Chains A and B, each alone.
Chain A
């Protein structure tokens, strides 16, 4: 009789620990733990802040999920964010932009931004799939090249004077729903359906599990890998649209600091660096977790360096929990 309560609570713990929503629970736990020390954390204004900070990070992290599931990695996403921002802004700006003042300025600007992302993604994917170069090297070098290129193009100057219609994407809303939320939600849904329900999505998982077996089974491995990197480039470009609109400027060093946040968020969510395992939903939770930590530490008025220390420690703790969880899962 006495043991029934602990047994039941242990079963609940097990369910929580092994749930695929584990990181979501961890986020909630973290939120509740920090709340007493920073009551403003739960203010409606701050909650909105957390969500709007999440969205660009979420967009680029979704793309990264595609690549990680193929057992690759895309380090070039931050350079895509920066270069897209610069290209888009130089098309749209009223300060001597290519299509300055035209009605076409905003759609053309966005199209250029997305095309930039897809183009760099295609370049990465082609080098990796056709030339069999290691993803780490390819995307590290494209990251260096295009980051430098963005700064060189602009002479390190930000580009302001973006059209109102474009800036509205960052701050406007349809009724209650802000545009960025709408955009990120559409992207996440499309990505989720692509990964889990389409043929290409299933191929991406198969390649991540075992590329050789996938090839023998008739999976067009090269084409699928190129697709994954192009998707990552596209998602990074969407993130660039959201960031650029919010900051109202084209910035050649946009997103430079978030590379490790992106990869940490996806991996914390549960996507494996070794491929074959990962979900868009998990990435949503991972991004929520990272954003929450960032936000709460600022709330607690830590210095930049302290934030880095604490963030590093918390991410390490989460990774440790994940490793522990996988060990227990394997032992079952």
Chain B
């Protein structure tokens, strides 16, 4: 049997009193690949961040080889031999591959007292490391010219160069093409043969089953399944990950959708992004879209709202086709859009709450001829909208959006769209990064809007909230709609499977 290289015992971690990891124990053996799976928020990333020195555990112990392991920062964990390859890669895209490899400690030589970098030495070492991961690019190549897959290889080569004993791969395949994925798997196999241990985190359960020796399943911060992969099937993994009764987390829907169509999408395609999307949204309906990151759900939302172009197909808003690629036009015709990235696209983070709420409907507060904004009326309307979403803030005109909590920031974004009285509202991850109480308020607002006849497209990676709120759910994967379910047919496992599976459907 192989030796234990890393062992966690009863690791516990809470954020603001909310437990994220509860008594998690795991064992990693030399030369084996451990797959960790779980829903979003199950605690995978927190656990890895503790191993990688980004976070510290509240209690419990971690042993690395013969010693206790409690890194104070990522650099220390790296020196101890744990390389953490993040979802978003940590490379300097403006520097060369060789410079990235040695950025932490350049080999130097002194010439007349000046510490100069030994360029030739790092070039040669880099080239050798790149060869060990079958990456045939020049050490002098700039990282920005490499594909995502090649960048990943550079990260792995960098880890090898630092004599890493354990490599943590967090969702390594989300940005890779299928050929790059195959190459990555080949390298993982080879490294395992060299005695390097790996922790592999992925939503793609098929990959995990194929690639890993051992599997650990997390749910709500607890280990709910653990063992060699032979003990697991896809079905068992999914039911272990999901297995939870739905709590009373959602308001009951107060009205039924009508038959009138407000948004109709006909065979919409944008090559490489979304393929042949067709659906109808009715008045007062909440239509869920489920899918993983990269499934095309956000891209679809952006196309619907006119932020990105589409090549084929048709979008009809209230019966009229939308032709121009312009959010301005969409808003004018009654569409609203809440983006998944609140800080980058949803808010003017340094502007006042009032300015944020009034931004979309600004022209409607202007008197026709001189174009002057009627500030008192605008403030009153912003106040009404803030009250409707139960925004908690001390002053609409003096407080900036930055000072609000995540949930209140999201309410500001909602309020800004509600002022325009949209007929179709596209919500992309409206509950991301907000607490449970604020989530409920967001659901309540959605229900109120639907009851008033607004058609809502609700995109989320949390299947439970879709099941709690929606009349129908579309499941997206690889840019296509895989399934459409009505409320009576909702089945979490089916949704999960459709979203996770590769092209296995006819």
Contact = CB atoms under 8 A, between A and B. Distances in A.
B387 interface: no
Given A206-B351, A276-B350, A212 B372 contact: no
Contacts of A214: 348, 359
B337 interface: yes
B111 interface: no
Interface in A200-222: 200, 202-203, 205-206, 209-210, 212-220
Given A198-B373, A203-B362, A216 B351 contact: no
B259 interface: no
Contacts, number: 72
A193 interface: yes
Contact of B347 (A205, A213, A218, A276): A213
B346 A218 contact: no
A217 B360 contact: yes
B351 A217 contact: no
Size bracket of the B interface? 20 to 34
Interface residues of A, number: 22
Nearest to B378: A202
A209 B346 CA distance: 12
Given A202-B355, A205-B355, A206-B351, A197 B375 contact: yes
Interface in A263-298: 276-277
A200 B339 contact: no
A276 B359 CA distance: 14
Given A205-B351, A206-B348, A210-B348, A215 B307 contact: yes
A212 B343 CA distance: 10
A203 to B, nearest CB: 7
B366 A220 contact: no
A217 B372 CA distance: 20
B327 A216 contact: yes
Chain A binding surface, main DSSP class? helix
A219 B362 CA distance: 9
Interface string B305-344: 1010000000000000000000110111000010100001
A200 B358 CA distance: 13
B345 interface: yes
A209 B347 CA distance: 9
B351 A209 contact: yes
A210 B337 contact: no
B371 interface: yes
Interface string B282-309: 0000000000000000000000010100
A213 B350 contact: no
Contact of A210 (B330, B332, B347): B347
B350 A216 contact: no
Contact of B363 (A199, A206, A213): A199
Given A203-B362, A276-B350, A216 B307 contact: yes
B416 interface: yes
B122 interface: no
A217 B357 CA distance: 10
Most chain B CB neighbours (cut-off 10 Å) among A209, A210, A214, A216: A216
Contacts of B484: none
Given A198-B366, A199-B366, A199-B371, A217 B359 contact: yes
Interface of B: 305, 307, 327-328, 330-332, 337, 339, 344-351, 355, 358-360, 362-363, 366, 370-373, 375, 416
22 contacts: A198-B371, A199-B373, A203-B362, A205-B351, A206-B351, A209-B351, A210-B348, A210-B349, A212-B345, A213-B344, A214-B348, A215-B307, A216-B305, A216-B307, A216-B327, A216-B339, A216-B345, A217-B327, A217-B331, A218-B332, A219-B328, A276-B351
Given A203-B362, A215-B307, A218-B360, 6 more contacts: A206-B359, A210-B349, A216-B307, A218-B331, A219-B328, A220-B328
Please give me the 7 A-B residue pairs with the lowest Cβ-Cβ distance, nearest first. A209-B348, A218-B331, A217-B359, A198-B371, A217-B360, A218-B328, A199-B366
